[in-house]
Amino acid sequence: MRILADENMPYVTELFGGWGEITTRSGRAISTADVASANLLLVRSVTRVDAALLVSARQLKFVGSATIGCDHIDQLLLAERGIPFANAPGCNAPAVVDYVIASLFHAAQRSGRELQQLRYGVVGVGQCGGRLVTRLQALGVEVLCCDPPRQRSEGLSDFVDIDTLIDHSDVISLHVPLVRSGPDTTHHLLDGTRLARLRPDALLINACRGEVVDNHALLGLLHQRPDVDVILDVWEGEPQPLLPLVARALIATPHIAGYSLEGKARGSWMLAERVAALLQLPAPPALASLLPPPQLSQLQLAAVPDWAQLGQLVHAVYQPLADDTRMRQSGLDAAGFDRLRRDYPQRRELAATCVSAPAQAHPLLSGCGFTLNSPVEEQP
C-alpha cells in the first residue's frame, strides 16, 4: 500500500509504516502527480483536497486530515467518488486552549489586569471553545458564549448573539470553523462594523481561521484604537500574513496554537485507528506508547498560588512569546512561515505536568490545564 503524508504529521512511520510504503511531502507542495499513485492520503490544513488535486487519483482508498477543521476538504467530491474520509475532531483542542490561557496570562501581566477582573466572550463553543469555557469557569471568571448552530439545535437560552457578546466582553476568543456561505457564515464574521464596536481596552484572540476576521479592517481599527490589543495565530492570506498587522499584534504566531506534541500525535493516531478499522488492518500502537516523558513532569506547591504565580507556572510549561519571537525573526515571507510550522520545537500540553497542591488550589490549577495529584496539606 502506498501512503502519502504531510511531512508535519508526527509518528507516521510508527503508526502507518507496517501497512505499506510511506512518502512525505510539504503540505503545500503535495501535487496531482504525488496523489496519482497513492492509496492513502494524509494531510493537514494547508493542503486543499479538491477536484484539481484528485484529477488523476484512481487508487485512493482513504483521505484523512489530522486536524479539527475540514474547510480544506471537498467532502462532497470524496463522497461522490466513494472515497472514505475522516478528520480528527478534538485532536489539538487542548493545545489550542493552552495557547489561549498562556496568552491571557501574558496579556494580563502586561495590562496590570488580573484574569478574573474581565468578562470573556467565546465565539464557537465546540471542541476548542467548549474546553476554553470550562477552563475559564474553573478559574472563576465570567464567560459569555455565542454559537448560533448549537443554540438553535440545543435550545441554549444562556447563549448570546455575536453583537451582544461584542458589546459586553472585555476579551473575545474566536473558535469557529470557516463557513463561507449560508446563515451561519463565519467568513469576515468580525468585519469593520463589528470590529468598531469593540469595548475600550478590548483584547481579541483569533486561533481558528484567519478569514474569520477582516484583517485589513482590523489593521485600520488598530491604527485608530491604540487601546485595543490582538493575539493572532491565524491570518488571511497564509502563508503570507499582512505584515503591518503582525507588527501591531501583542502576540503573533504562525498558525501553531494546536501544535503540541500530544495534539499532532493524537491527530495521526486517530486517523490510523480509522484506517485500521476501515481496511481491517492490525491496530496501531497505543498513543501513550509514542510520547516521550515531558521535561517538566511534576510540580509541588505548598500553598495556593496567586495570579502572578499561576502565570509563572503556565509559562514554565508553555510561553507563547517564544513562538512570537521566532515568527518576528523569521523574515515573515511565505517560506519562513511554513518553515516555522515544519520545524516547530517540541511543545507539551499543560496536562502533561502533574501538580501536587492544597485542595483549595485545585480549581485554579485545573482551569490552567494542569493534571492534579492528591491534595497536599497547605503550609502556614
Active site residues: 209, 238, 255
Mention every residue, 6+ apart, whose C-beta is less than 8 A from residue 259.
92, 95, 341, 344, 347
Dihedral over alpha carbons 273, 278, 282, 288 (to 10 degrees) = 0
**Residues 6+ away with beta carbon under 8 Å from 301:** 355, 356, 357, 358, 361, 376
Identify whether the C-beta of residue 120 lies closer than 8 Å to the C-beta of residue 166: no
List phi, psi (to 5°) of 223. -65, -35
Query: 341 in the Ramachandran plot: left (φ > 0), alpha (ψ -120 to 50) or beta?
Result: alpha
- Tell me the angle at which helices 261-279 and 93-111 cross, rounded to the nearest 10 degrees: 160
Residue with cell 471537498: 74
Q: Which residue do the cell numbers 467532502 mark?
A: 75
Bridge partners, 230 (sequence order) = 204
Q: How far is CA 87 from CA 84, 92, 133, 323, 326, in A?
A: 11, 12, 23, 26, 29
Query: Could you give the CA distance from residue 101 to residue 93 in angstroms, rounded to a whole number?
Result: 12
Provide the residue type at 252 as one letter. Answer: A
Spatial strand order of the sheet with 298-300 comes to 298-300, 354-356, 371-372
- Grid cell at residue 67: 486536524
What contacts 181, CB < 8 A, 6 or more positions away? 187
The secondary structure element, H or E, covering residue 311 is helix 307-317
Residue with cell 495529584: 373
Which residues, including other chains, have CB under 8 Å from residue 170's CB and lie 6 or more apart? 118, 119, 120, 199, 201, 202, 203
